[in-house]
Structure 1
């Protein structure tokens, strides 16, 4: 079957962070949006402009990082949902980018904080909301505490169209065995987003191959050296995912200093399309 870019290419707002300029850092003691920070300089595009901007470049699936959302006001959320609809862009995932539910000191607080963002994902009509499973060392207690919190979130979200996922990220899920342990305990209540860039070392490709049969989405993060794509690494990551049976979308994640963001995104997109055509 031919590779279908419309279904299998997405982009994250993280890839456009320099263009967006501003972020709204999280304070987990509050459910409110934090004060704006000019983290990356001048604003070239507002978040409301992004759906049409990516659609004009042949991409119609978007992932939104939570710290890029400037407001939880229902009027603003409605405007963003309209911008997505008008551009025929699907909000694939709201990436909830904070919290540690594997830490006994913060698990209850952060479970409630994360839930407030899952509610935003529902209001935006997102397909998924990605939650961090935890940042603690992968002891049995930490893993089981994460399972407990993720189960609570799944139960609160019961009946919703928003699918909850987690990611192979931070110490808790730093190797395949821990990913499998967590997801086995959750028995399908939580899905997996696989990220190429979160793991490294000599077993990287085997480790990715070991989890991508479970993955529903993918952060297809590439390395660029002096503005040039590391084609060897990127190709092996993609092949590992495909060999594992992965059939979901590849979310383009670009974070290098050069080339510019649109050029980097287009380079990743063209490489994937050529390799998998």
Structure 2
């Protein structure tokens, strides 16, 4: 049933990757999907909350690889910076790890558990981990469900969630199959930009109603031009299926002026979100 979307202005911090100097902390990307980069020149993480607030954002999904350190004193500084700016960390996004890997799955599970502990210290209510990066079949889906449930049981004081992302959750049917096995022990984040194809809006509609968080991507229809039609259609799907969580913007275009493009995205989105 359609209803008004949450008006909180929220951001997936991948949207400011260039603003952050393309920073990727050492040890944060063991799979090599992201290249470690500490060359500097970007916005310091402790300054990010103030910049988010200055641009009207009150909620952030924080990428784990922006954290240069994970010791308790530094995490307390990060938490205090967000608190002082009046921006909450909706979710820590752990952007690596594969619990379904045939040789390294157990090791990856332990690695992810460590990052869930980081999320707890940051005071985030949720932490998103990948469901798996292997092709979906009965075995990999069952393995993902078991290991995700184990992670959730190990960390009962934070909500572990996963996303329609990477090689395992390639469509709505696979996603629903996994969540049938998770039995509510793990939550769902819907990303409207991770699936492609002519039926992607129908695919999104089949699972978005069970999501508690979102990432809504703005891509480009041509260089420098946001695909407003795609953004509006994706938001309309979320609204019409009764999605009740926040709308976290993801800018995925080519312009280095990410804040300006996010302002433009917000203006387009406001035609749906109000």
Q: How far 1:141 sits from its partner (Å)? A: 0.4
The answer to whether the Cα contact below 8 Å between 1:217 and 1:248 also exists between their aligned partners in 2 is yes
Q: 1:153 and 1:4, CA in 2 relative to 1: closer, same or farther beyond 3 A?
A: closer
Which residue of structure 1 lines up, in the alignment, with residue 178 of structure 2? Answer: 182
Which residue of structure 1 lines up, in the alignment, with residue 18 of structure 2? Answer: 18
Is 1:5 aligned with 2:2?
no
Is 1:275 aligned with 2:272?
yes
Which of 222, 229, 251 matches 1:254? Answer: 251
Which residue of structure 2 lines up, in the alignment, with residue 80 of structure 1? Answer: 78
Q: How far 1:3 sits from its partner (Å)? A: 5.2
**Structure 2: gaps spanning 5 or more residues:** none
Q: How far 1:5 sits from its partner (Å)? A: 2.7
TM-score, normalization: structure 1?
0.91
Superposition RMSD in Å: 1.8
Q: 1:27 and 1:54, CA in 2 relative to 1: closer, same or farther beyond 3 A?
A: closer
The answer to whether the Cα contact below 8 Å between 2:226 and 2:253 also exists between their aligned partners in 1 is no
Structure number with greater CO (CA < 8 Å, separation at least 6) is: 2
Is 1:207 aligned with 2:206?
no
After the TM superposition, list the runs of 4 or more consecutive aligned residues in structure 1 that deviate by more than 6 angstroms. Answer: none
Is 1:236 aligned with 2:238?
no
| Separation of aligned partners in 2, 1:102 and 1:36 | 27
Which of 89, 95, 101 matches 1:97? Answer: 95
| Separation of aligned partners in 2, 1:208 and 1:77 | 35
After the TM superposition, which of the residue ranges 62-71 and 252-261 deviates more from structure 2?
Answer: 252-261
Aligned residues: 266
**Structure 1: gaps spanning 5 or more residues:** none
Q: How far 1:73 sits from its partner (Å)? A: 1.4
Task: Summarize the alignment of residues 119-134 of structure 1 with structure 2, pairs less than 5 Å apart.
Answer: 119-134=117-132
TM-score, normalization: structure 2?
0.92
